């Protein structure tokens, strides 16, 4: 089976490229880290307001799950730009004249994306722990969190890959991606609970996929919040998005390679 070995070689290639361009890593981590350091200080006293936040928790423990997902968002966006690079530099064609397994090209990309989101999430988690964050469900909970975050990252990689394959323009990927990020992030339960939102944002937030993912991650980290139901719902919602976005990616990729 060349599928697995080809995927592995292309995974290694992506990871090598990533660690050798630390500037990209730096910038995609910068924003979540600024959020982590700044927002958790700025909004620290908001959780004292009665009836808005779950009782007895710090803003840090409330917002860290949201910041983890924001990080998944911003690193997923770079996935699309890397396939645009391969398309425009001719590297994709160079691969396509070899017997390389076609699906492995896409899977090597996606596995390295998932690896990257997981690694970046770990960095943010370590920082958050330093500030006083903790995960109530322990190591299994952390693993489940990372799993949900990586899965979420893959679903969004699908969007940026699809945009990249369709437009062949890194600027468009960044433009559309950047345009989507903040409205989706702020109109979700990432940073503020629904009770604190105006009605119309509440309505958006209740169907916003980020809310589902962030609620699941939060239910794993906050004390006495664990609920298998919210985790399964999140996996289901992300799964649906992934089917659509990765399906579109696969369709556009087939058109390019056929």
Partner 1 sequence: MTDMISVEDLVLVYGDGTRAVDGISFKVEENGFFGFLGPNGAGKSTTIKVLTTLLRKTSGRVHLAGLDVEKDAAGIRKLIGVQSQETVVDHDLTGRENLMLQGHLQQMGGTELKQRVEELVKLVDLTDAADKRALNYSGGMKKRLDLASALVHRPRVLFLDEPTTGLDPQSRSAVWKYLDQLNKEGITIFLTTQYMEEADKLCSDLSIIDHGKIVAGGTPTELKGQVGTDTITLSLEGSEQGDGGSARAKELLTKVRGVSEVLDSDGGLTVYAKNAGFIVADIVRSFDENAIKMKSISMSSPSLDDVFLHHTGHRIRPEEASPRQTMRRMGFAARRPARQ
Binding-site ranges for partner 1 (CB under 8 A): 2, 5-6, 9, 13, 16-17, 20-21, 87-91, 93-100, 168, 255-256, 258
- Comparison of 13 and 202: residue with beta carbon closer to partner 1: 13
- Comparison of 86 and 136: residue with beta carbon closer to partner 1: 86
- Identify the helix (H) or strand (E) that includes residue 225: none
Instruction: Name the residue with tokens 């770079």.
Output: 78
Q: In angstroms, give the least distance from the CB of 255 to partner 1.
A: 7
Residue 132: CB atoms within 10 A of its CB come to 11
- Comparison of 106 and 128: residue with beta carbon closer to partner 1: 106
Q: In angstroms, give the least distance from the CB of 10 to partner 1.
A: 8
- Comparison of 94 and 183: residue with beta carbon closer to partner 1: 94
Which residues lie below 8 Å from residue 134, measured CB to CB, with a gap of 6+?
61, 221
Q: In angstroms, give the least distance from the CB of 2 to partner 1.
A: 6
Q: In angstroms, give the least distance from the CB of 253 to partner 1.
A: 10
CB 144 within 8 A of CB 137: yes
Q: In angstroms, give the least distance from the CB of 50 to partner 1.
A: 53
- Comparison of 171 and 255: residue with beta carbon closer to partner 1: 255
Question: What are the tokens at 207?
Answer: 């169907």
CB 78 within 8 A of CB 28: yes
- Comparison of 3 and 179: residue with beta carbon closer to partner 1: 3
- Helix count and strand count (H, E) for the chain: 10, 0
Q: In angstroms, give the least distance from the CB of 121 to partner 1.
A: 24
Measured between its terminal Cα atoms, the distance across the chain in Å is 21
d(CA 69, CA 35): 12
Which residues lie below 8 Å from residue 197, measured CB to CB, with a gap of 6+?
205
């Amino acid at each position: 089976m060349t599928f697995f070995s080809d995927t592995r070689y292309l995974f290694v290639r992506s990871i090598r490229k990533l660690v050798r361009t630390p500037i990209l890593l730096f910038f995609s981590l910068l924003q979540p880290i600024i959020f982590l350091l700044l927002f958790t200080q700025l909004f620290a006293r908001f959780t004292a307001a009665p009836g808005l936040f779950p009782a007895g928790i710090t803003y840090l423990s409330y917002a860290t799950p949201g910041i983890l997902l924001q990080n998944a968002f911003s690193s997923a966006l770079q996935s699309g730009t890397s396939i645009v690079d391969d398309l425009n530099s001719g590297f994709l064609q160079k691969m396509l004249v070899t017997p390389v397994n076609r699906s492995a090209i896409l899977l090597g990309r996606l596995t390295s994306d998932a690896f990257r989101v997981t690694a970046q999430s770990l960095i943010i988690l370590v920082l958050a722990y330093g500030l006083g964050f903790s995960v109530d469900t322990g190591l299994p909970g952390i693993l489940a969190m990372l799993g949900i975050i990586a899965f979420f990252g893959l679903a969004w990689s699908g969007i940026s890959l699809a945009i990249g394959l369709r437009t062949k323009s890194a600027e468009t990927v960044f433009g559309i991606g950047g345009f989507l990020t903040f409205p989706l992030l702020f109109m979700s339960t990432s940073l503020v609970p629904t009770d604190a939102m105006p009605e119309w944002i509440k309505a958006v937030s209740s169907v916003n996929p980020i809310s589902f993912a962030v609620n699941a991650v939060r239910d794993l980290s906050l004390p006495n919040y664990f609920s298998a139901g919210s985790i399964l719902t999140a996996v289901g919602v992300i799964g649906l998005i992934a089917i659509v976005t990765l399906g579109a990616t696969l369709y556009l990729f087939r058109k390019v390679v056929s």
